[in-house]
Amino acid sequence: PVDCIYEGPRMLYIHPDECVDCGACEPVCPVTAIFYEDDVPAEWKQFNAINAEWFSDEISGVGSPGGAAQVGPASKDHPVVEAWSSP
């Protein structure tokens, strides 16, 4: 599997251009939140855009580094995630 899952303060983000759809992350996700793009439940479809937008310069500045290990945890989440109340 590729190193395409990046860490924000409150959420992990899958880089849509680095993911090779191998499916290795799906069965090990502790909160059952990973799906193939066509299988995402309707109520979670917004997360496809949230994941893609998070990598932009305007939000996280992460871009496409070619692997999360090279970047480490990011200091901010997507604005939608930041707006959630704390658990």
What CATH number does domain 5-82 carry, 3.40.470.10, 3.30.70.20, 3.30.420.40, 3.60.20.10? 3.30.70.20
Tell me the pLDDT band of 86, cut-offs 50, 70 and 90: confident
**pLDDT per residue as tens digits for the range 2-48:** 799 999 999 999 999 999 999 999 999 999 999 998 999 999 999 99
* Span 71-84, average pLDDT: 94
How much is the pLDDT for 1? Answer: 59
Tell me the pLDDT band of 85, cut-offs 50, 70 and 90: confident
SS3 string, the chain, reads CCCCEEECCCCEEECCCCCCCCCCCCCCCCCCCCCCHHHCCHHHCHHHHHHHHHCCCCCCCCCCCCCHHHCCCCCCCCHHHHCCCCC
How much is the pLDDT for 43? Answer: 95
